Chains A and B, each alone.
Chain A
Amino acid sequence: MKRVLLCLLIATLISGCAHVSPWEKRGLARPHMAFEPDKLEARFMKKVHQAKEGTAGGYGVGGGGCGCN
């Protein structure tokens, strides 16, 4: 019974996921929706990270939240 309830709870939580069409991404395209709000600081941190690790990349894909390009 507990497992059934757990399954239902997970399903309910997952149902919060929604498909966002390209023309609906006005909110997602806003600068404050970016993973890195301060691009300059993010570049600086990446540089430090690259120097320490001796490796670069792995920071996701190009493009913005609007799904363009």
Chain B
Amino acid sequence: MHLVRAKLAIIAVVLLAVSTAAPVFAEEVGEGMPMPDFALSDTAGVEHRLSDFKGNYVYLDFWASWCPPCLVSLPWMNEMHEKFSERGLKIIAVNVDEVWGEAERVMKKIQPLFLVLKDGSASVPKKIEIPVMPTSYLIDKEGRVLMRHTGFRMSDKAKLEQKLSEILNTPTL
């Protein structure tokens, strides 16, 4: 009787583990790791590859219209574009809205000065396993992740700006 109970318990635990397990197919990209290359279209339908920006520092952000902190980060990215684009910073904002019209409404309000790429199928977030929305990556000239930032609060603005300023002021050897 005890053996049957034990077997049942094992079966129940295995079934529970299998049924609740999250699929793990991709590797989470973090600091120090190379950012995998990808190709996405911009709002005009022109395709861009991340590798096209090698030789520049890239601030890569993932956003959606339904994510309130993302809407705080977009105007801030406009400011950063104005401040740091001349020093070689490229800002790329990847939109993951399934319905493009929802993203367009946000863009009409914010008027992004930086490059916005469309990824309605979330192919890139799936590939690099972004942990939350929004997640941003600062990528160096060789395509390696210098910094990963998750979420976006008002208090993050100064810290991130400081970090960008420090990195862009560091002379390249």
> Residues on A close to B: CB < 8 A?
3-4, 7-8, 10-11, 14-15, 17, 19, 21-26, 29-30, 64, 66-69
Contact = CB atoms under 8 A, between A and B. Distances in A.
Contacts of A69: 69, 132, 151-153
B68 interface: yes
Contact of B130 (A4, A17, A23): A23
B69 A4 contact: no
Contacts of A67: 132-133
Contacts of A29: 66-68
Contacts of B135: 22
Contact of B66 (A7, A15, A19, A66): A66
B132 A14 contact: no
Interface of B: 8, 11-12, 15-16, 19-20, 22-23, 62, 64, 66-70, 96-98, 122, 125-126, 130-135, 151-153
**Complex A-B, nearest 9 residue pairs according to Cβ-Cβ distance, in ascending order:** A69-B151, A11-B15, A19-B22, A15-B19, A23-B122, A29-B66, A68-B69, A23-B96, A22-B133
Contacts of A7: 8, 11-12, 15
B69 to A, nearest CB: 4
Given A66-B66, A68-B70, A22 B16 contact: no
A23 to B, nearest CB: 4
A26 B66 contact: yes
A68 B12 contact: no
A51 B96 CA distance: 44
Given A26-B97, A68-B67, 13 more contacts: A4-B8, A8-B15, A11-B19, A14-B16, A14-B20, A15-B19, A17-B20, A64-B68, A66-B66, A66-B68, A68-B151, A69-B69, A69-B132
Given A7-B15, A68-B70, A69-B151, A21 B64 contact: no
